[in-house]
Amino acid sequence: MIPRRFAVLRPYLASFIHPRFRRPPARELLYWLTQPGKQQRAAKFIANKQEVDGFWELRFHGLAQPFYCPASASWVDLCQTIDECFNPANWHHFLSEQTPIAPEDVVVDCGAAEGLFSFTVAARARRVYAVEPVPFWHAALAKTFQQFDNVELVQAGVGHRSSAMHMTDDQVNSHISAQGSLEVPITTLDALFAEQDIPVSFIKADIEGFEFPMLLGAEALIRRRRPKLALTVYHDTNFHGEMIAFLRDIHRDYQFRTRGIAANGNPILLQVY
């Protein structure tokens, strides 16, 4: 069977005719097409794995604290996230030379899910706010971060206004939907941080196509603090050009970098610095 990753070939070739953003270098495309499977890629970062009281307890090379994930979660999806968080060559990796985590950074992780991004940056940042609305993840997040004094959990979603909305209950793929079985509280980053004068300096968001509404609800925070941002933009509802225009209107000196290419022709990641 042909791996799904080969679906990026069509939009990659089309980008020579209709370029819409920085095309990934050929060496990156070759790496993407020839990389091993998700479980094999994740295995090299895992030092130990065991099941404890309904959770996977994972220990990673170079990190002292254990990480917990519900044992009922998709193992393949978790392996994909492990590679995304630990492998700088992965197009979905949020950090880069332009968007690093510095010791004084206050990080907001929008769409924390199992919490792996928050977990990997907590040792480097001054403070991390892990924002996650889906109840499936809450017990594991609490267990993982019980020994961290610089990580705060926020059990809510973020958007352009405060409300209650319905979401699907699909683990890492949970998303806003009128047909969703979950009703979750939605707030704004301005309400959480700008109004409290919290000096947020890095915003990461992977919220299944709700990234632009999140930006609309963070305008005051972005205007006041000029944070670095790393946003997924591969979902069909995302238009990275719209996000760039919005952010450039707030800070004319912002610079932008896209990473990768998805099967639908969108870049995978937008980094702002």
- Grade residue 2 by pLDDT with cuts at 50, 70 and 90: low
pLDDT at 35: 94
The answer to whether the CB of 268 falls within 8 A of the CB of 91 is yes
What is the C-alpha separation between 40 and 226, in angstroms, rounded? 38
Quick one: what percent of the chain has pLDDT higher than 70? 98
CA end-to-end distance (rounded Å), the chain: 40
**152-171 pLDDT, tens per residue?**
999 999 999 988 878 777 77
What is the C-alpha separation between 214 and 212, in angstroms, rounded? 5
What is the C-alpha separation between 76 and 235, in angstroms, rounded? 20
Q: Is the pLDDT of residue 37 over 60?
A: yes
pLDDT at 265: 94
What is the C-alpha separation between 194 and 250, in angstroms, rounded? 15
| Cβ atoms within 10 Å, residue 4 | 8
Q: What is the mean pLDDT of the chain?
A: 94
pLDDT at 178: 72
The answer to whether the CB of 188 falls within 8 A of the CB of 158 is yes
Read off the pTM: 0.93
pLDDT at 179: 75
What amino acid occupies position 156?
A: A
Region 131-147: what's the mean pLDDT? 96
Q: Among 269, 260, 271, which Cα is nearest to 28's?
A: 260
Region 83-93: what's the mean pLDDT? 97
Question: Which letter does DSSP use for residue 162 in this model?
Answer: -
**246-264 pLDDT, tens per residue?**
999 999 999 999 999 999 9
What is the C-alpha separation between 210 and 215, in angstroms, rounded? 9
CATH number assigned to the domain with residue range 4-30+89-272, chosen from the 4 options 3.40.50.720, 3.40.50.10490, 3.40.50.150, 2.40.50.140: 3.40.50.150
